[in-house]
Amino acid sequence: RSTIVGIGEALRRALLPCGRANETAATAAGGLGAVFVNAAKDFPELSPRVLSRDPWIVAFQEFASDAEMDGILAAARAQTRGDFVQSLMDDEDGDVVRSSQHIWCDTPTCMQDADVVRLMSRLSTVTRTPAANAEVLQLLRYDEGQRYDVHNDYTGGGHDGASGGRLFSFVLFLSSPEEGGELHFADVNLTIRAERGAAVLWPSLSAQDFDLPELLSHHASVPVRRGQKLAAVTWLHLYDWRTLQLDRGCAESLGAIIPPFALLPRSHTQTEDADEDADRSEDYSDDGRVSD
Ligand SMILES: O=C(O)CCC(=O)C(=O)O
Ligand SMILES: [Fe+2]
């Protein structure tokens, strides 16, 4: 029997090299709440704190050590293209929605670094999601005045594309800017200070139905006023992402084409409402002070 299964799998892969690498979804539908409850309960060493239950937003005061964070930054910079590059992103009107700088940790030098591997494995344990479901880390740098406007990390539903949607979003702060640089959740008016070593985890798919986006997780990186913000971000998909993207080079099959910064309505029964969108992008004032 195993031979037949084996041939079936080999045939499937030959015919559909960019088909789903693993048919088992990371988290069973309805299980998202349990992941967050356990993340907040089972890892006291990370000093977790539940900041919101709808949507789930859990912060960890001590997600990584100083040595690990230094190691991750050094590993990203040790890559051939190891400099931060400007991550300019415009919306449909040509307005800048993001003025940060970034480095992708996407070469063996960085991906196989012991500190990077340890961080990704910790994140996999906390989210009960295979490490292969995680995108590569992206390191972010915001100098004074730089920001990332209100957006949602949703890039498609849970079963779209071979890797499925982004189930979890994760940010680890690698520095503590003196002023500004907070992570602001606009729909629930929650503002989190960027503090070195602290991390935040939230879902980008709906806890009720993974085919739908989580509509209450719009967030922004408030402009840095003084100092510099460094962070590492990644997203964990419902299905294996790395085997397809990194091992099999299947970039085209990975997700629906939806602008990552499109603002979504606040309820699944509500149609897109321009006024409300305008509202939400003004959730922090132009001078970067958070309206709390
Ligand atoms: O810099 C942050 O705190 C958040 C970054 C972010 O939202 C993203 O990269 O999608
Ligand atoms: Fe984001």
The tens digit of pLDDT for each residue in 110-127 reads 999 999 999 999 999 999
Q: ipTM, 2 decimals?
A: 0.99
Asked if residue 289 belongs to a domain, the reply is no
pLDDT for the residue numbered 91:
74
Whole-number Å distance, alpha carbon 154 to ligand 2 midpoint, is 9
DSSP three-state, residue 230: strand
At 291, the pLDDT band (50, 70, 90 cuts) reads: very low
Asked if residue 23 belongs to a domain, the reply is no
**Contact of 163 with 237, CB cutoff 8 Å:** yes
pLDDT for the residue numbered 235:
96
Say what the pTM is. Answer: 0.88
At 41-79, the pLDDT tens digits run: 999 999 999 999 999 999 999 999 999 999 999 999 999
Asked if residue 1 belongs to a domain, the reply is no
86-90, 112-116, 178-182, range with the lowest pLDDT: 86-90
pLDDT for the residue numbered 95:
77
d(CA 126, CA 188): 24
Rg for the chain, CA atoms, rounded: 19
Percent of the chain with pLDDT over 90: 65
d(CA 288, CA 26): 37
Asked if residue 7 belongs to a domain, the reply is no
Residue closest via CA to ligand 1's atom 1 equals 221
Residue closest via CA to ligand 1's atom 8 equals 233
171, 201, 284: which to mutate for ligand 1, most atoms within 8 A of CB? 171
**Cβ(171) to ligand 1 under 6 A?**
yes
> Which residues lie below 8 Å from residue 239, measured CB to CB, with a gap of 6+?
20, 21, 22, 23, 25, 26, 133, 162, 163, 164
pLDDT for the residue numbered 22:
84
At 12-21, the pLDDT tens digits run: 778 888 889 8
pLDDT of 181 above 60: yes
d(CA 260, CA 91): 10
**What is the atom index within ligand 1 of the atom nearest the CA of 229?**
1
**Cβ(140) to ligand 1 under 6 A?**
yes
pLDDT for the residue numbered 260:
55
Asked if residue 93 belongs to a domain, the reply is yes
**Contact of 195 with 157, CB cutoff 8 Å:** no
d(CA 103, CA 237): 21
**Contact of 135 with 204, CB cutoff 8 Å:** no
102, 183, 200: which to mutate for ligand 1, most atoms within 8 A of CB? 183
pLDDT for the residue numbered 111:
97
Average pLDDT over residues 195-203: 98
**Cβ(221) to ligand 1 under 6 A?**
yes
Q: Which domain holds residue 113?
A: 30-281
**Contact of 76 with 105, CB cutoff 8 Å:** yes
At 192, the pLDDT band (50, 70, 90 cuts) reads: very high
Asked if residue 254 belongs to a domain, the reply is yes
Indicate the number of domains in the chain: 1
At 199, the pLDDT band (50, 70, 90 cuts) reads: very high
Residue closest via CA to ligand 1's atom 9 equals 233
Among the bound ligands, the one closest to the CA of 147:
1
Whole-number Å distance, alpha carbon 233 to ligand 1 midpoint, is 7
Whole-number Å distance, alpha carbon 7 to ligand 2 midpoint, is 41
Asked if residue 268 belongs to a domain, the reply is yes
Residue closest via CA to ligand 1's atom 4 equals 221
pLDDT for the residue numbered 266:
82
Whole-number Å distance, alpha carbon 170 to ligand 2 midpoint, is 9
Triad 53, 282, 51: Cα angle to 5° = 15
**Contact of 131 with 234, CB cutoff 8 Å:** no
Asked if residue 102 belongs to a domain, the reply is yes
**Contact of 211 with 154, CB cutoff 8 Å:** no
d(CA 135, CA 26): 14
Q: Please confirm whether the linkage preceding 203 is cis (ω < 30° from 0).
A: no
d(CA 13, CA 137): 27
Question: In CATH, what number is assigned to the domain containing residue 186?
Answer: 2.60.120.620
56-70, 118-132, 212-226, 257-271, range with the lowest pLDDT: 257-271
Percent of the chain with pLDDT over 70: 85
